[in-house]
Chains A and B, each alone.
Chain A
Amino acid sequence: MSTSVSLYRSARLPLAALLIAAAMPWFLSEYTQSLLVNILIYAIFALSLELLVGTTGLVSLGHAAFSGVAAYVTALLMEVTGPGDMLLVLPAAMLGAGAYALFVGALSLRTRGVYFIMVTLAFAQMAFFIFHDTAIGGGSDGMYLSSRPSLALAGKVLIDLESPQQFYFFTLACLAVTYALLAVLLRSRFGRALAGIRLNEQRMRAVGFPTYGYKLAAFVIAGMLAGLAGFLMAARTGVVNPELLSWHESGAVLLMLILGGLGSLRGAVIGAAAFILLKEFYSSEAVFGPFALHWQMSLGVTMILCVALLPHGLIGLRFPLKLRSGLRAKQGVTHG
């Protein structure tokens, strides 16, 4: 199978999905569109974690720290720069998240397994307390953005996130870029090395890969991409608060991954969509009446059942069909 054919095959579905998503604003109500924007943002967030959990096998339970830090950097910079210049704010947000990821990654990657899970969670909580206990970001109340970021070149406004339409397309573009970037990354030597680390780190080290450096690089890239999601979260709601960094947020994005299916990029996107829609469904009073208040209960039970019955996630649902048609024998195990 030549590379171009396999690339075409694996890009077919995502491209179709992108086209459909791009046509959506002409069909959807304002409410549905804003729900969709939320899904797109969380898809970026989930994709960034997929690089760690699905590809490299690093179960991080503190991923919300990076999107949260970026959201705060966005809000703080918007305060200084006035009507924010996206050329400044967006890179700063991503770099801020990346810097924190470098700090957390450098320390937590000295541990492994369950230890790593605990350490990432603890450092995320540390970031939570930085914003919760100090006056930097308005304490537990958080802070409001004075305006939304916009991109202007030579006095001409190119992208203005105040407009819901432009916000939608900008977010969709961000998701597409993230997806493409990760797809290329996973096919590169770097991505193969990460997958090798997931399968057998000791062997990778023995072969001569500096695995610590590879894992740290993956951690920082994932942190920066989570920062992109954080920037969009802040810009979408116009408000940031410490809850963005809470470990419930980190747990939720991990649930999205397993719900969609680990080890594939489209799984992360599907999982984010399914999770947000499930949450929306369970908290809908029209369906559940007063019990809608207790949507966390329904969500929790659903997730327990999902992990128990669908260990490969929603994307795994199609595997039984493939098995029957004997495709597995031809293809082997694919990643993508």
Chain B
Amino acid sequence: MELSIFLVQCLNAIQYGLLLFLVASGLTLIFGIMGVINLAHGSFYMIGAYMAYALAPFFGDQFLLQMAVGVVLSVAFGFVLEWAFFSYLYQRNHLQQVLMTYSLILVFEEARSMLAGNDVHGVAIPAWLAGSIRLGDVMQYPIYNLFASAACIVVAIGLYLVVNRTRLGMMIRAGASNRDMVRGLGINIRLLYRIVFAAGVALAALAGMIAAPVSSVYPGMGGQILIICFVVVVIGGIGSISGALIAALLVGFVDTFGKVFFAQFSGLSIYLLMAVILIWRPQGLISKGY
């Protein structure tokens, strides 16, 4: 393989991995803190992507503003959804959570089909991010993809700082390791849950908004990303955000290079990776136990 092609594939892998990390970190936060297994998490990614599709005509080249509006909308959506639906799921067992959130997917998918139809829609790249740059001697790389990676890195660093350096982050970490203790300390657990949930929704929706111009928006995109995120969480170890980051990048690389080397069986590569990890470390790469 030529070096420049290899480099381009590496960039693709990193971009895909970072995007997966945004979605998976939301999933892991919601499960780690609130103990809710949320199958509808992929739908939040889908909602983000469709939001980008719907908002694009209003904002034109004001892409960053559009993303900010999208994040605000998805946080509001997350708040309402937690208040109206998810707050009832905490005291339920995993099976009931699976079924409720699965039913929620049916509702979201149908709402999507009513509002936006079942066609694949493209989302335009804003003019200032269009075009590509030279990489090495012959290769071109789209600027938007670099922007997408950069945006994901900024969000990931922001997430790291919030979780590890702020009071809110301290409560989140405490909530993840001992829920009853946090409640006992007199922290407003309802509000904490609501904030974490809204943040999880926003992370997934943001990933969807970033991905929309690259992958376009289509029915079933939520389910697809959800299952890959499950693979990421299984590989990384449940409830571990750093595990999710490592696993997401690993999955990004395996998937991207799987497509290059074994085009026909590319769909399988990440599941084989998961199988190998399960044999080696059933609890995931970085685990805090079950």
Contacts and interface: CB of A to CB of B under 8 A. Distances in A.
Interface of A: 53, 59, 61, 107-108, 110-115, 117-119, 121-123, 125-126, 129-130, 132-134, 247-248, 251, 254-255, 258, 262, 294, 296-297, 299-301, 303-304, 307-308, 311
A187 to B, nearest CB: 24
B8 interface: no
A254 B267 contact: no
A109 to B, nearest CB: 9
A121 to B, nearest CB: 6
A280 to B, nearest CB: 16
Contacts of B96: 258, 307, 311
B279 interface: yes
B45 to A, nearest CB: 16
Interface string B221-256: 001000100110110001000000000000000000
B257 interface: no
B106 A303 contact: yes
Nearest to A109: B282
Interface in B238-290: 238, 264-268, 271, 274-275, 278-279, 282-284, 290
Given A112-B290, A133-B264, A300-B110, A123 B271 contact: yes
Interface in B101-146: 102-107, 109-111, 113-114
B106 A297 contact: yes
13 contacts: A111-B278, A118-B233, A118-B234, A119-B234, A121-B230, A122-B227, A126-B271, A133-B268, A254-B95, A254-B98, A255-B102, A304-B100, A307-B96
A134 B265 contact: yes
A300 B43 CA distance: 14
A111 B105 CA distance: 25
B264 A113 contact: no
B58 interface: no
A262 B95 CA distance: 10
Interface of B: 31, 37, 39, 88, 94-96, 98-100, 102-107, 109-111, 113-114, 223, 227, 230-231, 233-234, 238, 264-268, 271, 274-275, 278-279, 282-284, 290
Nearest to A129: B267
A111 B281 CA distance: 10
A114 B264 CA distance: 31
A230 B95 CA distance: 24
B111 A297 contact: yes
Contacts of A108: 278
Nearest to B281: A110
B278 A300 contact: no
B149 to A, nearest CB: 25
Contact of A247 (B110, B227, B275, B282): B227
Contacts of B233: 118
B110 A297 contact: yes
Contacts of B113: 294
A118 B234 CA distance: 7
A126 B278 CA distance: 15
A308 B85 CA distance: 11
B267 A132 contact: yes
Nearest to A113: B290
B268 A53 contact: no
Contacts of B268: 126, 129-130, 133
Given A115-B234, A119-B234, A107 B103 contact: no
Contacts of B31: 114
Contacts of A129: 267-268, 271
A168 B110 CA distance: 33
B46 to A, nearest CB: 15
Given A118-B231, A248-B223, 7 more contacts: A59-B98, A134-B264, A294-B110, A297-B114, A300-B110, A304-B100, A307-B103
Contacts of A111: 234, 278, 282-283
A255 B39 CA distance: 14
A110 B282 contact: yes
Contacts of A115: 234, 238, 282-284, 290
A255 B114 contact: no
B88 A107 contact: no
Contacts of B234: 111, 115, 118-119, 122
A121 B282 contact: no
Contacts of B105: 251, 300
Contact of A251 (B94, B102, B230): B102
Nearest to B274: A122
Contact of B103 (A117, A126, A294, A300): A300
Contacts of A107: 275, 278-279
Closest 8 CB pairs of A and B: A129-B267, A300-B106, A126-B271, A297-B110, A110-B282, A118-B230, A303-B103, A300-B107
B288 to A, nearest CB: 12
A53 B94 CA distance: 11
Contacts of B99: 251, 254-255, 258, 303, 307
A132 B39 CA distance: 22
A41 B266 CA distance: 33
A304 B103 contact: yes
A262 to B, nearest CB: 8
Contacts of A262: 95
A285 B110 CA distance: 17
Contacts of A113: 94, 290
> Which of A110, A258, A296 has its CB near the most chain B CB atoms (within 10 A)?
A296
A59 B275 CA distance: 19
A233 B80 CA distance: 41
A133 B267 contact: yes
